Structure 1
Amino acid sequence: MSEQKLAKIDDVANHTFDFVIIGGGTAGLALAARLSEDPNISVAVLEAGKAHFNDELVLGVQGWMRQFMNPEYDWRFFTLPQVHANGKPTLWSRGKGLGGSSGMNFLMWTRPQRQDIDAIEALGNPGWNWERFYEYSKKTERFVSPQKATVEDRYSKDAVGTNGPLPISFAPTVSNAEQPFRKSLEELGVNISNDALSGDTLGAWKPVSIIDPATNTRSYSTTGYLLPALDRPNLHILTEAYVTRIFTETTDDGSVVARALEFEHGGKTHSVSVGKEAILSAGAIKSPQILELSGIGDRALLERLGIPVKLDLPAVGTNVQEHGCHNATAYLMQEGKNIITSDLLRDPDFRAKLVESSPDYAEPLGLAFTGLNFLPIQKLTSPARAAEIISSIEAKLAQGRANGSIPPGLQAQYEQQLAMLKDPAVPDVEIMVTPFSFKPGERASLVPPPAVIWLLTTGFLRVDVAAKKPIIAILSAVCRPFSRGTIHAASADPKDPPAIDPQYFAESADLDILVEAWKFARKVANTGAFKELMVAEVSPGPDVQTNEQIREHVKNNFVTVWHTCGSLSMLPKDKGGVVNPKLKVYGTQNIRVVDLSILPLQLTTHTQSAVYAIAEQAADIIKEDHDLLRK
């Protein structure tokens, strides 16, 4: 029935809507639902992918594993070869279809460190502070408290929303390796957090998951925001509508006005007119590309690509930041110790025995990521090594101030990052305990050769250990990288993927920190409760020991965490900004951006909740600008 409520091409093409949203992903659907609450305004959403209503690959807790590299669900972006990571390209999967990446992520619901958000306001964005973020984030969630809370299900009642559209809960099925890892961390002086949702992510904790406990299925932007709003006559959702460019006019004062959008649907080119605003919610990868295809961006780049320049805005597609992650260090665990992994859940006999022995487990069974640990650099390594890394950054910033080699806007960002790095109460790395792996050949029919290479080198694929053995993988990630990259249109052809160059490890401090995190994670695995359950390290194994071996191993086995931000940064224009604090693109009257691309600094978190909070805050900003807020 839901499919029948979607718009048809004749409902959208050649019509005018007050707000036309490009992208029906996490932010786009949340924003559309909030704006269409006013029956007097019209909203259209153009989504390139399919609807995926009632799709088990989306709703299933482990369905994301079957979405990867499937072109119906995954945009399958690849970066350029990374010069500082031994020339490796990296897969950047993104959700394709209604709900976007909220329909294919790892289901973790976390909030950032308080200082992350306050730093964004300090960079010149009044109103984008922790307190406002906190309230908007809680507005989006409906926390369902566990009927039988375990010792791991820790939270503060004041830190969770209870009336929002998205049901969230503690995952009922865990691998049972997370708690031993936390105990090993405690032996090494790391605290267990009692509440990681109030702006303090430091320590070891079990995250809340985007799981509706009533159905044990994924809760995401489609189920939470879109479906309850789909009957509204003023909301039109068109799927398989690939936006190619924004048509603009230049006014007498030199500003740019969006008049219409061009999009492809059913093999034909169509247009839809903009009454009030065109809103980019296509994500940090596609949004800058669409702006550039529309003639808004760096004049030199646009002229080189043969795209008529409508607005020279050099910062478009710059300041790109991504959470970099060393792929999994894998550990073979003892059998018979109740360790649950994704491979074992594929075995019908194992599932049957698990449900029989644990009546609280409910079908459909599925594991979520539930082992998160956020640590400062001061916990990872010796005081001398931590000081050495910090001093190297301080020296570079001092040199940049002296000779002007670092642009003022980037210098200001680095100063915020450095202050957080020096604070032992603010985490700098994340260490994840993961029970996931792909079976060899599972996706072979859909995976092109580059993806096969990726799958064979990432910790999610196990190729050297027999099936039906419990394998736990430990991943380490840098939370606030100093390296900056770019995302630009590669040609004037809208169907060509953008050129993605995150410049991993361009700043050597990122690699230094990640190496220390990797060494510390191995130390934890060989300590106390976790060590007692562990049989052996099966990847990379004991041959990798020296600092140089570890550095090379990290560079050769490097993946992303898929949290890209910064490509359309919210900053003062003279500091490298693309949008102002009201999310309007500089030099335009009615083009806004509402997605993760606006964040000028990376966050110490998995970014899903941040995207929803951005959409919620943006909805109120837009309503206020158009006098749509109700008293």
Structure 2
Amino acid sequence: MWPVEVAFLTILGLSSFGSCSPHERYPIRTLSPRGIVYDGNIADSYDFVIVGGGQAGLVLAARLSEDSNHTVLVLEAGDTGDAIRNDIDVPAFAYYKSKMGSSYDYGFQTVPQANLGGRAISWPRGKILGGSSAVNGMYATRPSQIEVDAWSTLVASDDSDAAKAWGWTSFLSAMKKSEHFTPPGSDVRNLADIHYQPSNHGTGGPLHISYPGYTFSQYRDWLVTLNNVGVPDSEDAAGGSTEGAYATTSFINPTNWTRSYSKSAYIDPLPPRDNLAILANATVTRIIFDSSNSNNLTATGVEFASNRDATKRTVKVSKEVILAGGAVGSPHVLLVSGVGPKDTLEAAGVPVLHELNGVGQHMADHLSSGVTYAANFDNAGAIWAKGGDVANSPAFLSFVNSAIAYVNLTTLLGDDGAKALQDEVRQGSPSSLAGSDSDVLAGDKAIYSAVSGTIFGSHIGSAEMLLSLNTPGNVAIQAGLQHPFSVGRLSINTSNAFDSPIIDPNYLSHASDRTILREALKLARKLGQTEPLASSLGDEITPGPSVNTDAEWDAWLSTHVGTEFHPSSTCAMLPRNLGGVVNAKLQVYGTANVRVADSSIFPLSFAAHLGVPTYGVAEQAADIIRGFYNGVASPVSPPSSTSASDSSSSQTPSTTNQNNAASTHAINSWLNWTLLSATFLTSVLVL
């Protein structure tokens, strides 16, 4: 199947291929039509070197290489994922064949957390082309308008014009630009009572966002049950108002019921581009700087190696290094390259090239746990365990959890309790780690003020509630803290990039975080005891009837909470005097040509999963960078109507208008195929 797919993908995109000879800027090398280099033979120099071939990195690779006058290299520490493509593509396998704990997971651990019983918490991150977007649970939620505008306000004091790119109007356009939305089928829509507003969604982007092809009536019960405890339905949380209960969209391609992620959406459909190279199994060990001006370091190259014992290689950089390693990878690379807090670098044996105290600081993460019940119905996990035709059908295997709700303080605590906690928080301060720099502390306080004064106590959710149906015989109602006031950091104690960084989220160090999570777990129990959902549930398994008082809940959650997999803010977009790492143009302070474009730049936590906003950051970054080098202004372009379609194909595609249109285009384009030169054809190795 792969050769046929490759041939048609090659046909579909010839009009965007640059006019230059395929060998003018690259040596002859083994190269797939998608730009993935399998023999390690890359050029000596590239205009842009992207560090990290994960979610944001592959978006940037595709967008920047649309300009044929720019050469682009992506360096990804993980593997290509070719060997496990079926496990990636099938959405349900995120739950049933998880890659957590495998070689495709970095397997990070936090330091022992004092407020979690001294436990070190697992922090899985995808180590593969596509990054965490290739292995995650596929929730496609957006932040709210009030949160995004608060972010823009935090950076406006430095550059109000550039900050507009991060306000709601522009950022919504960036998120929509990445999206190709498909409504649910009528059966799924009716069974789960799904609501959406088409105008809130993009329809021409590379990334498929839709709903599973299989669902359960308990999703409709979820909405009614939340209504019965005072939580309204959300007509479409994608429009900027995220509070309420709904069935969320997921990163699913409904034409073939496969996962849609950065590689399948942005890279796999590409025609051959001689200006794009993607090298897997290449861990960046440091950025090489011309340090003659310590206040304006110029990146001249990037050093990398396939493993800790391998010979290091260096590739030169003509224009920029773009860090896209996520909330862990990007600050880690800066630190081992000599950019960061002076005391941290000196203690780790890293020469200090530029002191930038905000690197790795302002760390935030969603903390979560859940209440588990016995299931009185055949949930997804039970169906999978039984096997058979249904369990192996493409529609069923597209099922992922999508029943969700964002609940505010009033729902959790009542009017009086919400006001009391809001007043307490507004009079308090963030729980920063000891020893933080004064600028970093000022930034922590600015973020705290923005959240406590604008977001906290508003209609925006303080807790996320999720209905999980994927464990055989069990149903979990999960609760996640969305706006933590506990502030952590990432640092290093070694100069070796192959050694894991030190991750300290400082969980539950702020009293309000514990209060909100405890009350959210109480709500999870209440939901399980409220009709109509209660009729589908049996006995409570965990925490069980022995946990009732606040003290009992606090003791239990300390030993049963973990990450919701949404770390952010470690290269925060803030003014430098607030411990910022990048400005509103994503440029790293103190460097001439290094940017960061990933989830590490969010200065505050969102009541949302980070997939959609991270795609928005990458789209916005590509526009900013291309605008700079092409000499034009850089507002976000309107959603494209001609973007490539996601080519995931582990299941047989259903017959749709979109497929028919693609086939027609392919047939028509075949006439142009014979016009390609023999030289061009021999430059491509079809896998």
When normalised by structure 2's length, the TM-score is 0.82
User: Does the 8 A contact of 2:121 with 2:562 survive in 1?
Assistant: yes
Q: Report the counterpart of residue 531 of structure 1 in structure 2.
A: 534
Matches for 1:504-583 after TM superposition, within 5 Å? 504-583=507-586
Matches for 1:25-64 after TM superposition, within 5 Å? 25-53=54-82, 55-64=85-94
Among 200, 203, 227, the alignment partner of 1:162 is 203
Question: For residues 411 and 569 of structure 2, what CA distance do their matches in structure 1 show?
Answer: 28
1:121-160 deviation digits (Å, cap 9, x = unpaired): 1102412111111001000010112332325221101001
Question: For residues 342 and 629 of structure 1, what CA distance do their matches in structure 2 show?
Answer: 52
Change (3 A) 1:529 1:398: closer
Shift of 1:242: 0.9
Q: Report the counterpart of residue 79 of structure 1 in structure 2.
A: 110
1:434-488 deviation digits (Å, cap 9, x = unpaired): 0123xxxxxxxxxxxxxxxxxxxxxxxxxxxxxx6x3110110111111110111
**Any idea what SS the aligned residue of 2:570 has?**
coil
Among 363, 368, 372, the alignment partner of 1:325 is 368
Q: Report the counterpart of residue 143 of structure 2 in structure 1.
A: 112
Q: Report the counterpart of residue 373 of structure 1 in structure 2.
A: 405
Matches for 1:250-289 after TM superposition, within 5 Å? 250-252=291-293, 254-265=295-306, 267-289=310-332
Change (3 A) 1:50 1:600: same
For 2:300, give the aligned amino acid: R
Change (3 A) 1:495 1:407: closer
Matches for 1:83-98 after TM superposition, within 5 Å? 83-98=114-129
**Any idea what SS the aligned residue of 2:231 has?**
coil
For 2:171, give the aligned amino acid: F
**Any idea what SS the aligned residue of 1:621 has?**
helix
Q: Report the counterpart of residue 146 of structure 1 in structure 2.
A: 184
Question: For residues 354 and 302 of structure 2, what CA distance do their matches in structure 1 show?
Answer: 17
Shift of 1:225: 0.4
Shift of 1:55: 0.8
User: Does the 8 A contact of 2:294 with 2:590 survive in 1?
Assistant: no
Q: Report the counterpart of residue 590 of structure 2 in structure 1.
A: 587
User: Does the 8 A contact of 1:342 with 1:367 survive in 2?
Assistant: no
User: Does the 8 A contact of 1:138 with 1:160 survive in 2?
Assistant: yes
2:269 is aligned with 1:228: yes
User: Does the 8 A contact of 2:422 with 2:457 survive in 1?
Assistant: no
2:453 is aligned with 1:419: yes
Question: For residues 542 and 558 of structure 2, what CA distance do their matches in structure 1 show?
Answer: 15
For 1:418, give the aligned amino acid: S
**Any idea what SS the aligned residue of 1:204 has?**
strand
User: Does the 8 A contact of 2:70 with 2:275 survive in 1?
Assistant: yes
Matches for 1:182-331 after TM superposition, within 5 Å? 182-229=223-270, 231-252=272-293, 254-265=295-306, 267-326=310-369, 328-331=370-373
Among 587, 611, 635, the alignment partner of 1:608 is 611
| Unmatched runs of 5 consecutive residues or more in structure 2 | 7-30, 157-162, 433-437, 638-687
For 1:535, give the aligned amino acid: G
Q: Report the counterpart of residue 641 of structure 2 in structure 1.
A: none
Aligned length: 585
User: Does the 8 A contact of 2:440 with 2:579 survive in 1?
Assistant: no
Question: For residues 252 and 281 of structure 1, what CA distance do their matches in structure 2 show?
Answer: 25
Question: For residues 277 and 563 of structure 1, what CA distance do their matches in structure 2 show?
Answer: 27
In angstroms, what is the RMSD of aligned CA positions? 2.2
Q: Report the counterpart of residue 450 of structure 1 in structure 2.
A: none
Question: For residues 37 and 98 of structure 1, what CA distance do their matches in structure 2 show?
Answer: 19
Question: For residues 144 and 201 of structure 2, what CA distance do their matches in structure 1 show?
Answer: 15
Question: For residues 455 and 306 of structure 2, what CA distance do their matches in structure 1 show?
Answer: 48
Question: For residues 150 and 333 of structure 2, what CA distance do their matches in structure 1 show?
Answer: 28
Change (3 A) 1:9 1:550: same
Once structures 1 and 2 are overlaid, which stretch shifts more, 138-147 or 255-264? Answer: 138-147
Shift of 1:63: 2.1
Question: For residues 154 and 236 of structure 1, what CA distance do their matches in structure 2 show?
Answer: 41
Change (3 A) 1:504 1:536: same
1:179-220 deviation digits (Å, cap 9, x = unpaired): 222211111121111111101111000001111111111011
For 1:60, give the aligned amino acid: V
Shift of 1:60: 1.0
User: Does the 8 A contact of 2:338 with 2:352 survive in 1?
Assistant: yes
Question: For residues 348 and 546 of structure 1, what CA distance do their matches in structure 2 show?
Answer: 42
Once structures 1 and 2 are overlaid, which stretch shifts more, 135-144 or 621-630? Answer: 621-630
1:310-363 deviation digits (Å, cap 9, x = unpaired): 10111110000001112x21111224xxx42224312124x54x79xxxxx745
Shift of 1:221: 0.4
Question: For residues 601 and 422 of structure 1, what CA distance do their matches in structure 2 show?
Answer: 12
When normalised by structure 1's length, the TM-score is 0.89
**Any idea what SS the aligned residue of 1:274 has?**
strand
2:102 is aligned with 1:68: no
Question: For residues 41 and 120 of structure 1, what CA distance do their matches in structure 2 show?
Answer: 31
User: Does the 8 A contact of 2:290 with 2:297 survive in 1?
Assistant: yes
User: Does the 8 A contact of 1:247 with 1:258 survive in 2?
Assistant: yes
Shift of 1:275: 0.5
User: Does the 8 A contact of 1:7 with 1:237 survive in 2?
Assistant: yes
**Any idea what SS the aligned residue of 1:41 has?**
coil
Shift of 1:231: 1.3
**Any idea what SS the aligned residue of 2:133 has?**
helix
Among 462, 467, 489, the alignment partner of 1:433 is 467
User: Does the 8 A contact of 2:368 with 2:481 survive in 1?
Assistant: yes
Question: For residues 294 and 536 of structure 2, what CA distance do their matches in structure 1 show?
Answer: 69
Q: Report the counterpart of residue 129 of structure 1 in structure 2.
A: 167
For 1:29, give the aligned amino acid: L
Question: For residues 521 and 363 of structure 1, what CA distance do their matches in structure 2 show?
Answer: 29
For 1:218, give the aligned amino acid: R
Question: For residues 615 and 123 of structure 1, what CA distance do their matches in structure 2 show?
Answer: 20
**Any idea what SS the aligned residue of 2:239 has?**
coil
For 1:232, give the aligned amino acid: R
Once structures 1 and 2 are overlaid, which stretch shifts more, 424-433 or 247-256? Answer: 247-256
Question: For residues 276 and 406 of structure 1, what CA distance do their matches in structure 2 show?
Answer: 30
User: Does the 8 A contact of 2:200 with 2:239 survive in 1?
Assistant: yes
Q: Report the counterpart of residue 459 of structure 1 in structure 2.
A: none
Question: For residues 317 and 9 of structure 1, what CA distance do their matches in structure 2 show?
Answer: 34
Question: For residues 551 and 603 of structure 1, what CA distance do their matches in structure 2 show?
Answer: 24
Q: Report the counterpart of residue 505 of structure 2 in structure 1.
A: 502
Change (3 A) 1:51 1:406: closer
Identity of aligned residues (%): 33
Change (3 A) 1:421 1:530: same
User: Does the 8 A contact of 1:174 with 1:340 survive in 2?
Assistant: no
Question: For residues 398 and 320 of structure 1, what CA distance do their matches in structure 2 show?
Answer: 12
Question: For residues 520 and 156 of structure 1, what CA distance do their matches in structure 2 show?
Answer: 28
Among 616, 623, 626, the alignment partner of 1:623 is 626
Question: For residues 588 and 108 of structure 1, what CA distance do their matches in structure 2 show?
Answer: 35
Shift of 1:384: 2.8
Shift of 1:427: 1.4
Question: For residues 120 and 511 of structure 1, what CA distance do their matches in structure 2 show?
Answer: 24
**Any idea what SS the aligned residue of 1:503 has?**
coil
